[in-house]
Amino acid sequence: MPQVGDKVKPARSEMVYEISHVHHGGDEVDLHVSGTNLQRFSVRTDTITFVERRLKSLSSGRRHSATELARWTQRLAGVPDQAQAKPSCHHRTSQVFSR
């Protein structure tokens, strides 16, 4: 099944397009050339050749918020989570006065 982001070549074309939309059932796709206004609509999938396929998402199709994606990117880069990295001022003062 084609998915958005796959790179393909339509029949009789040397240009590489990217899938921008997969129609219901996956029989047709919309294509565009990155960095241009060139688009092709309702192209049958049996007339395209896949050049590069995107890896399937492990998220079961659920879209993630920008905050979730930023947090995952930071974790992959080894950056500590902001919420856990620095305690609040109130928390530090309560420790100082409780001794």
Question: How far is Cα 19 from Cα 41, in angstroms, rounded to an integer?
Answer: 10
pLDDT at 51 over 80: yes
Write down the domain spans for the chain: 7-52, 66-97
Burial class (CB in 10 A: 0-12, 13-18, 19+), 40: middle
- The answer to whether the predicted template modeling score (pTM) of the entire model surpasses 0.85 is no
Q: At which residue do the structure tokens 């049958």 appear? A: 44
pLDDT at 33 over 90: yes
Give the SS3 label for residue 77.
Answer: helix
